């Protein structure tokens, strides 16, 4: 994991007050962060917190109700996602971006061979020589630990873990500038999860790739991310470096999430913080701090006033009245 802020004068992706409404309901609201070349940013939170909505918004699959998302393309041009055509977005998804889905069937052509899946991506980037495309396919199968003699097999003949590794190969073969990942280890058993995370980390470090990583699994995020954003009910409640947030989670919601992470030593236990109730409906969110209905540290001000974002130093930011 290598973040190159000091070598790049502009972020690869800027998200500024991004908001999306489903009718009158906010899917996510006023989300802001930056993603720099070579950085891995993870967005975490419970199911229903708005993580996948945010990813769809940033990648252009959902329209912005308000706010701005700016992507710096391969030519150095700042591209406003809100004014980009569907054709332009699709071109970026085929060339400069990758998108690894939780379900590999959403990211692979299941009736096309493994070599065809990889080759399509290369051809979208201008490759034309059949022999070179085949050789690249074999090389990428080796990289993701799939026997190269399986090049002509369809993904339907692969195990779930192999399908996910093939989806990773299909997306990374063109050396994309930005890779979106939506729960890429979800639904896999623990041993296969570890293989996938180690593979993603190795490829990221060797190729200086940039990931936007969506996950509810904090033990996975700890191993792969440089920066974490914690989402609750459509908004970011805490952001900071992975090291800072794991060492010192500030928001009561972050504290509760992190208290549930299993300890490596089975003889050691964390003081588990149990969150009462479920995430409130986005159609009728609480007034004031959206988390106050489940917060064990709730104060009267939390019930009526939305907290401002406070910078606690070193880029560690929290939205909570405890730090007023």
pLDDT digits (tens, 9 = 90+) for 11-24: 999 999 999 988 87
- Token look-up 């919601």 returns 253
Is a pLDDT exceeding 50 seen at residue 58?
Answer: yes
φ and ψ of 87, to 5 deg = -65, -40
User: What is the CA angle 7-9-13, rounded to 5?
Assistant: 105
- Beta bridge partners, 72, equal 78
Which domains does the chain carry? 13-96+176-323 (3.40.50.300), 103-175 (no CATH)
Q: Is 63 left (phi over 0), alpha (psi -120 to 50) or beta?
A: beta
pLDDT (tens digit, 9 = 90+) per residue, 199-248? 899 999 999 999 999 998 898 899 999 999 999 999 999 999 999 999 99
Q: CA 186 to CA 44: how far, in whole Å?
A: 13
DSSP state of 281: P
Q: Give the lowest-confidence range in 239-243, 258-262, 305-309.
A: 258-262
What burial class does residue 26 get, using C-beta atoms within 10 Å of its C-beta: 0-12 exposed, 13-18 middle, 19+ buried? buried
- Beta bridge partners, 42, equal 213, 228
Give the model's confidence band at 158: pLDDT under 50 very low, under 70 low, under 90 confident, else very high: very high
């Amino acid at each position: 994991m290598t973040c190159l802020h000091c070598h790049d004068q502009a972020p690869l992706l800027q998200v500024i007050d991004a908001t999306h409404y489903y009718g009158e309901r906010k899917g996510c609201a006023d989300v802001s962060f930056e993603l720099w070349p070579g950085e891995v940013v993870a967005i975490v939170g419970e199911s229903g917190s708005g993580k996948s909505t945010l990813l769809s918004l940033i990648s252009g699959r959902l329209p912005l109700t308000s706010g701005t998302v700016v992507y710096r393309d391969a030519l150095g041009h700042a591209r406003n996602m809100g004014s980009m055509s569907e054709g332009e977005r699709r071109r970026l998804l085929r060339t400069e971006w990758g998108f690894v889905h939780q379900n590999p069937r959403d990211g692979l052509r299941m009736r096309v061979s493994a070599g065809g899946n990889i080759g399509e991506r290369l051809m979208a980037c201008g490759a034309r020589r059949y022999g070179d495309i085949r050789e690249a396919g074999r090389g990428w199968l080796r990289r993701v630990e799939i026997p190269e003699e399986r090049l002509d097999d369809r993904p339907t003949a692969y195990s779930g873990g192999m399908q996910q590794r093939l989806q990773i190969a299909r997306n990374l073969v063109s050396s994309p500038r930005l890779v979106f990942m939506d729960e890429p280890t979800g639904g896999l058993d623990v041993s296969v999860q570890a293989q996938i995370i180690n593979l993603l980390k190795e490829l990221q470090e060797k190729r200086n790739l940039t990931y936007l990583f969506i996950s509810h699994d904090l033990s996975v995020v700890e191993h792969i991310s440089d920066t974490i954003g914690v989402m609750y009910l459509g908004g970011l409640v805490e952001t900071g470096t992975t090291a800072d947030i794991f060492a010192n989670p500030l928001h009561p919601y972050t504290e509760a999430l992190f208290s549930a992470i299993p300890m490596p030593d089975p003889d050691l236990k964390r003081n588990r913080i149990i969150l009462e109730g479920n995430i409130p409906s986005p159609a009728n969110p609480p007034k004031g701090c959206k988390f106050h209905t489940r917060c064990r540290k709730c104060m009267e001000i939390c019930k009526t006033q939305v907290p401002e974002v406070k910078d606690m130093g070193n880029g560690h930011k929290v939205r909570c009245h405890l730090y007023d």
